[in-house]
Structure 1
Amino acid sequence: MSTIQRLTGPITATTPKPLLRRPTLVRKREDDDEAPPSSPRKKAKVTFDSDVEVRVVGDWEKAPHLIQEEVRRAFAKRALGDDSGYDKLKDVYSQKNGNEEEFSPVTIKNYTISLLANVSVLNKSNSDLVHAVLSSDWLGRTEDYVALFVRLLANVSSAQGVFLGDVVQMLVNNLTAAPPSNGRIRDLPVVTRLMIYARVHRTLQYLLQLIPSAGRILSSTMTTAFPHPTDSRRSHVVYVQNLLKLVGYSPELRGEVLALITERLVKIDVQVQVDLEDLAEDVGEGLVDQIPPARPDLMDDMEDSDMSDEEDDFDEDEEDEEAQRAKEITKNVEKMDAILDILFSHYEQSFGHPSVEEQVGSLNILLSQFVTTILPTHRSRHTQFLLFHFAQQSSEYIDTFVGTCVQITFDKGQPAIVRQASAAYLASFVARGMHVPSNIVRDVFGYIGGELARLRRNHEPSCRGPDMRRYSSFYVLVQALLYIFCFRWRDLESAPDDDFEDDDLNTPYGQQHQWKSGVKEALSQNVFSKLNPLKVCSTAIVTEFARIANHLSIVYVYHLLETNKRVRVLQSAGTGYGQPNRETALSARRDESYQHLDAYFPFDPYHLPKSKRWIEGDYREWSGIPGLDDEQASETDSDDEEGLKSEAEEGTETDETGGSF
């Protein structure tokens, strides 16, 4: 009872504290959201934009930091013997274009960034990964990726020198007409061939500046990547153009690059001459003249990857063997013509440079190529015209080239074949060079005459008759002397008039001519020597000399020619031994006697359709002597002389203006 009384006061209820609400991502609806739908019975219509590309994100499309960790772990596990992650890493760069599982450009870029952070582990043991990276189509990607990849190449080449050769080889291969990178990657803009070449050149320039030793590797790599002589004209043009562009930012390689191009050009040149010899005479003689006009520069159309190699297809089964070979020769001639035109243009920039040092440097390069490559090579026919043209740019350069030939010709330390070839170049340059001055002609004539006098003193006491093997040096020099006289006899007169033109030569030639001291003596003493050079020298040259010398009343040799018909060359004259077996294909004849020297003079008429423009104005065509041909045509009782003339016309290539030379 007492207890109940204590609780009689009012009882107050305590309100419990509410619980905290969980955070939610559900947005509180606005008032407008609470409005009832217009039609509760219809579902909302959903539309899709067909222009939006929907791509499923693959497992490899990861955040950059995850890719970095993946790459790090791949190398770590490989060190422990687990190559699973490493092999997946190689797959990133081994994907071929068109594969459905091809990685996105962003993913590949992130992997490349991760590799750049792990360059230190890209050593020789991981070479297969490095090669996969180098083989990837990085040149066809965006500019920012190319810049990233170049950084990777530079770091790998610097940190791991063992891969420098592979890097340079990959870059040079992309300078060919068919680079490994085609510039076509899915979802990326097409990169043209010209853009690919420009990117390669920028990369090479950067590496050469960063790693000087790369230049040495580049020299050997350029040689191995050079197109084979049987490759297309386009392949040669593209590669040569790219090599010359390389010279622009790496001038220290200029000599090696130009020597390489010249060496390969000479091989094509010689092959053309050999092939022409094997054709029928009438086909070979007209083949060069039948070449169509030169095509436009192929570098302008380089971005067209579908471009053919410009060779016309033909059904070999429907053509005889000779016609097929003629077409192959024509392709090689076009190839040679295109390369020569490129080289003429390249050297023209140097010789047109205001710096004398630049010009002299280019002349020295040409002379070096002449001595090491052109001079020792048999049957070179067109390559030497580079030196022929540019040596005539000044009197000093003419003197330099002539001096080089004179030194080699009279150097007893040189092989006989080289000395005799040099004599042919010397005589041909002096005779054919339009800008070779009269004083050079007289000096060379005197040098040769002096050497012949020495040889006569040595050989005549024991001479028993013409012997090609034993006296080959003497015969070669006599032939050079006769050749120079036939072309430049006006410069050997005692008082030539500088204003005297060929068209004014209407005076009777039977009158006495005055010659420089020693000219007449040199001709008569050598022609009538016991060594009997007219029996051994080329019939074509001997015949033309006989006509001119008789007309100018300097020496009469027809009686000697008649006597020589009954003279036999000694048996010791082995076929081709001790004489330069160097003739132009168009002048060589199967029935030419082994007892005569070859009528080879290296600056015979130049007929390549595109590059011949460079020597216009430099070349002295054979024009004959006014009145001489008319005089001979009026003779009706000279059957023997007519036979000699016919033989002369068959013995050497004719100029466009006529005559026996």
Structure 2
Amino acid sequence: MGVPDMDDLSFTDSELDYHVRNALKAAVQGDCDFYNQLVAVIHHKERLVAEEVALLVTCLKAVTGAVSSIHIAHHRSLLAAIFGMSLWDYGTDVMDALVELLVSLASSSGEYVDLCLEMLVGNFIPPSAPPSASYFMELLKQPRGVAKKGQVLDRVHSTLKDIASVVPLSPLRLEKIVRDRMPNIYTKEPFIVMYVENMLRLESGVMGELVGSTILVALVDRLIDLDVEIAWDEILQDDFHKGIFDMELEDLEGHADHIDQDCNELTREALIQRFFSGNLVAEKLDSLMVLTFEHLRSCAESGRLVQVFEILLQSFQKTILTAYKSKFAQFVMFYACSLDPENCGKMFADLLINIFVSSLNPEWRMSAVSYLASYLARAKFVPVSFVAAMLESVVNWCFLYCKNQEGDINPKAHKVFYAGCQATMYVLCFRMRQMLAIPRLKSQLRLMRIEDILGHPLKPLQVCLPSIVEEFLRLVKANHVFSLPQSFVEYGMLESENSRAFGGMERFDMFFPFDPCLLRKCDRYIRPNYVYWSMVRSTYDEDDGEGTSDEDVEEAYASRDGMSIPDDGSGRSRDDEGDSDADEFDYSLDKMSITPRDSSNKFGGRMQRFMQMPSKIRPSASPESL
């Protein structure tokens, strides 16, 4: 029989199978005429008419039946044509024939397994090279594009499962491929989001037990890559010269609450626009974190959140904790804890306190106690009794440290100690009134050796951030918690050379990782479980210095915008989630942070007004004030 013409569609499927087998064998001997025609049919993909589609499907099925005759060295052009195909370019008939061929190739020889897996993972996203990228980006905005996406990805994942069933070790090889092919931070947002969707689909699927840990770690790594790429310092040093978290901005409805006349004209939405305008990296990070949040919620609903969280904890310790001032990625941990406070929330806090008291790396210890303080202060779902227990652990470590020190103030030598002291004061600025409202916790607080620590010759009040020190002392004075000497209050309230030296060049003294999250889409996930500074009732009057009664505290924390005081001291709080006036201010980005702006200017006596903690910690006549 002579060499047939591939354009002749008169022969039957069985005849084509016969010719394909012969063509593969003939190509090894150097006779490549029919073989080259076969390669050309598979390689052709643009503007296929019905007859060409039928021929392609028939050829793919014929090659599937002849995989035992394929040689990786002699049939490179055929393999290149097959693995160069994209499911996105074809209809369902071609897709089905192609994935059937991939399963046959993977099961025929171990040489093809990685190639098949790489091709399937490559189909996590449409062809992203120009001009295909623009075409698919527009297509995916249309209903038919969404349908196409479902057709492709359903086949990708079912084929990966089929290959895993015939090649049991393939999932172990798949995890490296998924990690290595993950798009970089410069990939267009729809494509990187789609890739992560597929990663998380794998993690929650039948192969999740084998590939899940690697996928989650790779995802957190990419979140950090995006996070650190955001030029945050440029935003903080913009023309208004104020830290973004220190502003109390006017919202679109005209509700105003300012700490500075300089920012009267800058609205909340204007700040968001300023931050997001052109900041494609921030938008990608926002979208990926929302995907991650949704995945975590799904894990919680299916009862596997703790298992996933254990992996996240390991990734946090290796990646987020050691990242230089991670801005937003850490809220993955915060949200996961909010879904299961009793398990995940406790595991997170336990990890942080263990790192603080036992790690050998001082920077890690400082970062850990900053995370712990910020978490305890900001997490609405953390019972106040648990806050008190964690706080006591920090205080106990600081007290034992003091007992072994006889020297004078030294920010560099004792920076871990100063970090612990600052964390203690920071938490109490947020939680003191809750603790005082519960007799058992009030007694526990009074028994802590906080006075001994703060009055030690190491002089932490002169090293820690003045904004925190001053507010802490005001609260202590207003509530008569400790018997602090008057000399405590007379410690310099300005940012001294000692304070600036605390933490060294990295300025861990200014790092509170759960300050309000500025990512627009993430806000709705974080807000219901987040303590904003406007929720914390001021406990003093600036003019007369009078304190507030316990009854006032009960009323304040029972209000819609506040946190609920536990009825019985058990630590169980009543969450009025979803029924808060805060919903009127969807993106009030800066309600509570006490991370200070640059306060290098000095003034005699007390700090000037704008150098104190934000205005919401002070009595206010604004509608939001408690």
So what's the TM-score if we normalise by structure 1?
Answer: 0.70
Q: How does 1:631-650 map to 2 (within 5 A)?
A: 631=543, 640=604, 643-649=607-613
Equivalent in the alignment of 2:11: 63
User: How far off is 1:474 after superposition?
Assistant: 0.7
Q: CA deviation at 1:570?
A: 7.7
Q: Deviations over 1:247-277 (max 9, x none)?
A: 3433222332222222211222232254545
- The reply to whether residue 485 of structure 1 matches residue 397 of structure 2 is no
Q: Which of 230, 251, 261 pairs up with 2:208?
A: 251
Contact 1:391 1:401 in 2 (8 A): yes
Q: Does 1:109 align with 2:109?
A: no
* Residue matched to 2:334: 388
1:183-214 per-residue CA deviation (whole Å, 9 max, x = no partner) reads: 99xxxx99723322222222222222222222
Change (3 A) 1:480 1:262: same
Q: How many Å apart are 1:394 and its aligned residue? A: 3.7
**Amino acid of the residue matched to residue 529 of structure 2?**
D
How many residues are aligned here?
526
AA partner of residue 251 (structure 1): G
1:359 to 302, 305, 310: 305
User: Residues 66 and 177 of structure 1: is their aligned pair in 2 closer, same or farther, counting only changes over 3 Å?
Assistant: closer
Shift of 1:178: 4.0
The yes-or-no answer on 1:610 pairing with 2:521 is yes
SS of the residue aligned with 1:435?
coil
Residue 345 of structure 1 and its aligned partner are, at CA, apart by 1.6
Measure, in 1, the Cα distance between the counterparts of 2:357 and 2:439: 32
In 2, distance between residues paired with 1:323 and 1:625? 27
The 3 A distance-change label for structure 1 pair 197 and 283 is farther
Indicate conservation of the 8 Å contact 1:535/1:564, yes or no: yes
Q: Look up the SS of the partner of 1:104 in the other structure.
A: helix
CA distance in 2, matches of 1:325, 1:605: 17
Structure 1 residue 246 displacement after superposition: 2.5
Letter in 2 for 1:617: P
2:466 to 527, 536, 539: 539
Q: Which residue of 2 is the match for residue 402 of structure 1?
A: 349
Point out where structure 2 has 5 or more consecutive residues left out of the alignment.
Answer: 253-270, 547-602
State the match for 1:593 in structure 2. none
Q: How does 1:500-539 map to 2 (within 5 A)?
A: 515-517=442-444, 519=446, 522-539=449-466
Q: Using the alignment, how far apart are the partners of 2:398 and 2:44 within structure 1?
A: 73
Cα distance change, pair 160–261 in 1 and its aligned pair in 2 (3 A): same
SS at 1:282 equivalent: coil
Structure showing greater Rg: 1
Does the 8 A contact of 1:351 with 1:362 survive in 2? no
CA contact 1:606–1:612 (8 Å) conserved in 2:
yes
Tell me whether 1:260 sits opposite 2:218 in the alignment.
yes
AA of the residue aligned to 1:631? D
Alignment partner of 2:449: what SS?
A: helix
Partner of residue 18, structure 1: none
Q: Identify the residue that residue 384 of structure 2 maps to in structure 1.
A: 438
Aligned AA (2:337): A
Change (3 A) 1:177 1:531: farther
Q: 2:168 aligns with which of 199, 205, 212?
A: 212
Shift of 1:655: 14
Specify whether residues 519 and 145 from structure 1 end up closer, same or farther in structure 2 by C-alpha distance, changes over 3 A only.
same
For residues 194 and 397 of structure 2, the distance between their equivalents in structure 1, rounded to whole angstroms, comes to 47
- Letter of the structure 1 residue corresponding to residue 354 of structure 2: Q
Query: Does the 8 Å contact 2:118/2:177 carry over to 1?
Result: yes
CA distance in 2, matches of 1:324, 1:630: 35
How far, CA to CA, are the matches of 2:467 and 2:391 in structure 1?
20
Task: For 1:244-643, list aligned pairs within 5 A.
Answer: 244-249=200-205, 250-252=207-209, 253-272=211-230, 274=232, 276-277=234-235, 279-280=237-238, 282=240, 330-353=279-302, 355=303, 358-392=304-338, 393-412=340-359, 414-460=360-406, 463=407, 465-493=408-436, 496=438, 515-517=442-444, 519=446, 522-553=449-480, 554-556=482-484, 559-560=487-488, 562=490, 564=492, 576-577=503-504, 581-582=507-508, 598-623=509-534, 624-626=536-538, 628-631=540-543, 640=604, 643=607
SS of the equivalent of 1:614 reads helix
User: Alpha-carbon deviation of 1:129?
Assistant: 1.3
Q: 1:256 to 1:473 in 2, by over 3 A?
A: same
Q: Work out the CA distance in 2 between the residues paired with 1:325 and 1:517.
A: 46
How much does 1:519 deviate?
3.5
1:118 corresponds to which of 62, 66, 74: 66
CA distance in 2, matches of 1:658, 1:334: 32
Q: Contact (CA 8 Å) 1:173, 1:179: kept in 2 or not? A: no
Report the secondary structure of 1:230's partner residue.
Answer: coil
Q: 1:273 to 1:67 in 2, by over 3 A?
A: same
Report if aligned partners of 2:454, 2:460 keep a CA contact under 8 Å in 1.
yes
Change (3 A) 1:158 1:283: farther
> Which residue identity is paired with 1:70?
H
SS in 2 for 1:176: coil
Letter in 2 for 1:628: Y
Match of residue 553 from structure 2: none
Partner Cα distance (2:43, 2:448) in 1: 80
State which drifts further: 479-488 or 600-609.
Answer: 600-609
Q: CA deviation at 1:632?
A: 6.3
Identical amino acids, percent of aligned pairs: 22
Deviations 1:520-558 (A, max 9, x none): 662221112111112221122112112222222335477
Check whether the contact 1:122–1:160 (CA below 8 A) recurs between aligned residues: no
- CA distance in 1 between counterparts of 2:545 and 2:445 reads 32
SS at match of 1:631: coil
Q: Which amino acid aligns with 1:61?
A: L
- SS of aligned partner of 2:533: coil
> Which of 154, 163, 168 is the matching residue for 2:103?
154
Tell me how far 1:641 sits from its aligned partner: 5.7
- Deviation, 1:566, is 11
Structure 1: 5+ residue stretches without partners: 1-56, 294-321, 499-513, 583-597
